[in-house]
Structure 1
Amino acid sequence: MTVRTHTPHLLARAGTVSALALATLGGTTLAPGTAPDAEAASLAVRALRIAASKQGSPYEYGAQGPHSFDCSGLTLYSYKHAGRDLPRSAAAQYGHTRHVPAPARKRGDLVFFSSESGIYHVGIYAGAGRIWHAPKTGTVVRLDKIWSGAVRYGRVR
């Protein structure tokens, strides 16, 4: 029995998305003709793919892409290029989303980090407790585990 893989086709579709990003997005589940095609075409997954494609881009305060980003600049850029406009700041983006409980979060939802003074950071949920985000000065866009329990989730409408 011969097992066929779709890896070359997936890599061609991935463009500049790294192998890590492709694995984050489910790898072979994105193969044409499979049931997850509808999910792959969704707004949130398109935004997630765009964010992942920016892996390694430097953090720059106030930057909205295409070559450097701050946290809300990355989410704004990703959703804009997926077809939806978002406000500029993390706090304004939180107010613009439909809030969802942690058990209902889905890939592509926004993850908002909060403190007593309010929302201070945002990333895009990648699944398995990880986010794509632009962390802080001196870092780059990357995939990280969610490091805090003080998070809220928002779904872009």
Structure 2
Amino acid sequence: MNPRVIGAIAIGGVVALLLCLLAVPMMVFGGSSMLFSGGGAGGCVAGSSGTVSQPGVSSAAANSIPANYLTWYRKVGQQYGVPWTVLAGIGKVESDHGRTTLPGVTSGANAFGAAGPMQIGIEGAAGNQWSALATVEDGKPPASVYDPADAIAGAAKYLIAHGVQTNVQSAIFAYNHLDSYVTAVLGWASTYASGGFTVSATSPNSASSATSAACIGTGTLDSLITPNAAVATVINFAQAQLGKPYLWGGTGPDAFDCSGLVMMAYRAAGINIPRTSEDQWAQLPHVPAGNVEPGDLVFFAGADGTPTSPGHVGLVIGHDKMIEAYATGFPIRISTFGSPTSQPGLSQVVGFARPWAQPGLNLGNSARG
């Protein structure tokens, strides 16, 4: 969104180390966390709390996220369908979640005209981006670029406008036109998604610190954890394909059709499923709509199918969202299903299936008890 690179340069060494651990070129969210995961934290984190350990977290201060920022990253991520870890990665690189003392974070603007904890342009070389993104997220008008809640919502809107649901890297590059910036943000996003952070006390520079104790919206996101490590691998594989083209009959690595994508995603986890959506629906264990979990397959009649032999399938990632290879001309993307506003063919769900529940599969210690 603006040309300065102070944050990216400052953490370049750390990011370089993190990238050595990545297994795919897109966002690799290790452990059992998924795209919208809350890192395993249950319940609320009050703004006045001290450090609260998460499963598998690092104790390094550099990896902490202030409680109020974590609350808003999660809430806004759920609200807009943007991975909260990407929002947190941007917040880390731009202002260390509002904790840096650099110009423009709590007042005024930096030398390029960017302001607030998410460093959104308000003037100068950065342009006045805020006028189109201003959002009263915390219910306390007027919208302020210096308010963490408002700024995080503005950043989410910017990422949505630049296609984050189909190409995460491209959207981050649009935010700041530097490859090193994209690398930095994805490095921190990967760390946060794998639970590599602690929750620190509310940021002293926050304009909405009192709101963090309300625990707004964290419960739903905290529940969006993959049921086992195999499903985490499946979702990681599918995420890595975002933005690739649809190809009828395609099974990768450069293009996929709907059933080819989910088949190869499960194959990446060592689980074999049928090739076509019709056979997947017919042969895999079904699950009721009320028991759907990340990693389940969601089926639709599709242009070439029927409710008894559905012609389209997607991979559920939580909160009525899925990763899918939709049709020719549409890149692999994240979509909303089962809603009257869903795109054609996606509003009526035929049903759900759970590949990892096939009889005879041994998931070892990765299965949830």
Instruction: Check whether TM > 0.5.
Output: yes
- Provide, for residues 50-79 of structure 1, a one-character-per-residue CA deviation record: whole Å limited to 9, x for no partner: 011100110011000011000001011111
Instruction: Tell me, yes or no, if the aligned pair for 1:25 and 1:49 is still in contact at 8 Å.
Output: no
Q: Residues 39, 144 of structure 1: CA spacing in aligned structure 2 closer, same or farther, 3 A cutoff?
A: closer
Distance 1:138 1:23 in 2: 27
1:60 to 242, 247, 254: 247
Larger radius of gyration: 2
- Are the equivalent residues in 1 in contact too, given 2:34–2:317 (CA < 8 A)? no
Deviations 1:22-58 (A, max 9, x none): 973424352269xx9x947522221111011100110
Q: Which residue of 2 aligns with 1:77?
A: 264
Counterpart position of 1:113: 300
Check whether the contact 2:34–2:226 (CA below 8 A) recurs between aligned residues: no
Contact 1:40 1:46 in 2 (8 A): no
Task: Considering fraction of residues, name the structure with more strand.
Answer: 1
User: Which residue in the other structure is 1:16 paired with?
Assistant: 25
TM-score between the two structures when normalised by the length of structure 1: 0.79
Instruction: Give 1:103 shift.
Output: 1.3
The one-letter code sitting in structure 1 at the alignment partner of 2:194 is: L
* Number of equivalences: 147
**TM-score, normalization by structure 2:** 0.36
- State the distance in 2 between where 1:40 and 1:32 align: 19
Fraction of identical pairs, as percent: 29
Q: Give the alignment of 1:113-132 within 5 angstroms.
A: 113-114=300-301, 115-116=306-307, 118-132=309-323
Deviations 1:92-114 (A, max 9, x none): 01122210011111101111113
Q: What 5-or-longer segments of structure 1 have no aligned partner?
A: 1-6
- Aligned CA-pair RMSD: 3.1
Going from structure 1 to structure 2, the CA distance change for 1:104 and 1:62 (only over 3 Å counts) comes to same
Partner of 1:102: 289
Instruction: Say whether residues 1:155 and 2:354 are aligned partners.
Output: yes
Residue 194 (structure 2) aligns with: 30
Letter in 1 for 2:35: T
Q: In 1, are the aligned partners of 2:297 and 2:313 still within 8 Å (CA)?
A: yes
Distance 1:150 1:127, change over 3 A: same
Q: In structure 2, do the counterparts of structure 1 residues 73 and 98 end up closer, same or farther at CA, with 3 Å as the change threshold?
A: same
Task: In structure 2, list runs of 5 or more residues that go unmatched.
Answer: 1-13, 38-84, 86-191, 198-222, 359-369
Residues of 2 paired with 1:94 and 1:11: CA distance? 39
